[in-house]
Amino acid sequence: MSEYRISRSTPESRGGVAFFAALTLVLFTLPWWDGDGSLRTPLVIVLLYVALAQMWNLLAGFAGLISIGQQMFVGIGTYGLLTFAEEWGIDPYLSVPLCGLVAALVSIPVAFFNFRLVAGYFAIGTWVSAEVIRLLVNDSGSLKGGEVRSLTRESLGGYAKETRDNVTYWLALALAVGATAIVVFVLRSRVGLALRSVRDNETGARGLGVDVTRTKALIWVIAAFWTGCVGAVLLLNAPSATSTSAFSVLSWTALVIFMVVIGGNGSTTGPILGVLVFWFLDEQLADQDTWRFIILGGLAAVMAIVAPKGLYGLLQQWKPLQFFPVRRRLIGPGVDE
């Protein structure tokens, strides 16, 4: 029997997975010991940003699809929830995956147009697509995007406020943990291997038999679905919106890009680190929105020049750690685990 084996895990990764599993369990129980909501309230936004950052990283970091139009799916999720819960009377929490489904469906014709573009033209195309959808929502008589729209107590299902707050928090936690799991599982699959080959050399990937369009489209639709769900939960967290806030490129795309660049683009852990940096700055500069944005953007620019792989790359230089390893390694006598 061979003394060698193939494995993805290392002692560090097993410890990392155990740590994140324990952290997830602690966060799940938070509503029971954070009575005043002082930690739960800011954590909802932080967790939703983790989900957005992981999805953008999946697109840009692993598929090479640099999108600056992800706010279109956030907005679709927001207005989808207003329609399902406010107009159609569907339970607001059951409406969340429906909003993701609508975003995924809309992403298909958007992809049909934008996948004909490359590099910077693709990025600009996604932004234009987002603006077109925002204008359509804004001018829609039924969606009333030009007005401030809110979820009423009836459309919120008549749930008590404490119940609403807890369920919204748990949904945000599920989206953050689920986004990270999706990235890891996709990268460990054959799709992930194809994805990285497309990112590194699209022509070469085609030559090896990779269906480039199908691979990109699959990841695009997955990211759209998850981002649409985030948009719905954002509305549950702050039950009012306008088309300007729901389709904000600064809030839901630019900030997310800064977080991923700071944390480490193209890594599974980097986006989490970037969101933690954002959380720290947000707490320190809570009353200075302009400076918060300037500092975060400036830090992202510096990191892009000095450390292109972000904080995670710097940590790797100090001590190579793979908390969520996706590559297989040879383990055996004379080979370090």
Q: Dump pLDDT digits (tens) for 35-67.
A: 777 888 889 999 999 999 999 999 998 888 999
Give the residue-averaged pLDDT of 135-141.
Answer: 86
- What is the predicted pLDDT for the residue at 13? 64
Top-ranked range on mean pLDDT: pick from 79-93, 299-313, 320-334: 79-93
| Residue 331 pLDDT exceeds 60 | no
| Residue 127 pLDDT exceeds 50 | yes
| Residue 130 pLDDT exceeds 90 | yes
Spell out the SS3 assignment of the chain.
CCCCEEECCCHHHHHHHHHHHHHHHHHHCHHHHCCCCCCHHHHHHHHHHHHHHHHHHHHHHHHCCCCCCCHHHHHHHHHHHHHHHHHCCCCCCCHHHHHHHHHHHHHHHHHHHHCCCCHHHHHHHHHHHHHHHHHHHHHCCCCCCCCCEECCCCCCCCCCHHHHHHHHHHHHHHHHHHHHHHHHHHHHCHHHHHHHHHHHCHHHHHHCCCCHHHHHHHHHHHHHHHHHHHHHHHHHHCCEECHHHHCCHHHHHHHHHHHHHHHCCCCCCHHHHHHHHHHHHHHHCCCCHHHHHHHHHHHHHHHHHHCCCHHHHHHHHHCCCCCCCCCCEEEECCECC
Give the residue-averaged pLDDT of 282-301.
Answer: 80
Task: Out of 6-10, 107-111, 140-144, 215-219, pick the least confident.
Answer: 6-10
| Residue 320 pLDDT exceeds 70 | no
Place of tokens 């739960």: 40
Give the residue-averaged pLDDT of 74-85.
Answer: 94
The two tokens of residue 76 are 């679709």
Give the residue-averaged pLDDT of 118-147.
Answer: 88
| Residue 325 pLDDT exceeds 90 | no
Q: What's the pTM? A: 0.90
Task: Out of 86-95, 143-152, 218-227, pick the least confident.
Answer: 143-152
The two tokens of residue 27 are 């966060």
